[in-house]
Structure 1
């Protein structure tokens, strides 16, 4: 199995679209899977910021440069344009101020990858409509009381957000399960989205 094939689908999309030899900051890098893949396959100089101490230890044990920190409070210390890419995968919806985190990403990186679960997916809508309860799915496995997701963003919300701020979308990918789906109807049919942004 290739390194990219072993990645979560949204991370595989990001890995495929990061230029070889780039400087990357992975915010909310988890155990460093994406960083290791980028280092090993593309010679990327990858740095990571991760809030969970266990994940930091796992990433460091892979020989990665990862520090413990919080996207909401620790991005302000990074200089402007210090990375080619700033990456925020499956973390946007867990931050207290996603608008400010995105501002920092686009300030720190020349480009930013952002991936997030789509809370307007038809299964989520159906669960609320027919069951009257917050959904628990394969991709959103936590109960309402223990979920880290505090901002329930949809693809259309995110599209409106970047348009209002004049942020250019250089690429967008949509996933239904682990497979790509089209942009048309993505707000209804896609479970996850990946955007490549540039100020």
Structure 2
């Protein structure tokens, strides 16, 4: 099974044998890849009970939980990596969730759709409507996204909170692109963070 491009980047950059918490793990695709290919001790937290059941059916360790509330239950540095993929923009307090990720994980991977991508900007400029794209596939009234974060916004947030960006990857379609003008050109961003 092929991983989504942001998850493939994360999987390639997790050290073998690491302890990993995948927050918003979905059906467990990343956890399964980490377990099978990197011998990682991968655990998951997912808000949707159907996805938790899918993880358990794959032999994965996953619990039902809410990133806004339940990360506080984990002890400091319980994991080598905490992962939040395509979930940051759905949390009520992304700033607090980032703090929790870096409290429970020595490092954190965060990926999110970039709402400053040129197609999003054009949709708003020419059509005057919130866009529906491959990465933002539902209408504004159906979306779980409650924060419209851009790469520029995210960089400002982590700088203000004293968080170090160790690496960043930017995707246009399914391909990595250069960092130049990423806020305009990238549809999706992946950051590796530490304190």
What TM-score range do you get, normalising by the shorter chain? over 0.9
Deviation at 1:124, TM superposition (A): 0.2
1:59 equivalenced with 2:27 (yes/no): no
Cα RMSD of the aligned pairs, angstroms, is 0.6
Matched, 1:131 2:139: no
> What's the counterpart of residue 7 of structure 1?
3
Are residues 1:120 and 2:116 paired? yes
Structure 2 partner of 1:152:
148
Give unmatched runs, 5+ long, in structure 2: none
User: How far apart, in 2, do the equivalents of 1:96 and 1:157 lie?
Assistant: 16
TM-score scaled by length of structure 1: 0.97
- 1:89 maps to what in 2? 85
Q: Of 45, 49, 52, which residue of structure 1 is paired with 2:45?
A: 49
CA offsets per residue over residues 149-183 of structure 1, 9 Å max, x none? Answer: 00000000001111112111111000000000111
Cα-to-partner distance string for 1:33-55 (whole Å, 9 max, x where unaligned): 00000000000000100000110
Q: Distance between the aligned counterparts of 1:49 and 1:58, measured in 2?
A: 12
Partner of 1:165: 161
1:7-46 maps to which residues of 2 (within 5 A)? 7-46=3-42
Which aligned runs of 4 or more in structure 1 are off by greater than 6 angstroms?
none
Give, in whole Å, the separation in 1 of the partners of 2:31 and 2:25: 8
**Cα distance between partner residues in 1 of 2:83 and 2:154:** 16
Deviation of 1:80 after TM superposition, in Å, equals 0.2
Q: How many angstroms apart in 2 are the aligned matches of 1:71 and 1:122? A: 30
Question: CA–CA distance in 1 between the matches of 2:138 and 2:97?
Answer: 23
Unaligned runs of at least 5 residues, structure 1: none
Counterpart for residue 195 of structure 1: 191
The equivalent of 1:183 in structure 2 is 179
1:116-152 deviations in whole A, cap 9, x for unaligned? Answer: 0000000000000000000001110010101000000
Provide the TM-score with structure 2 as the length reference. 0.99
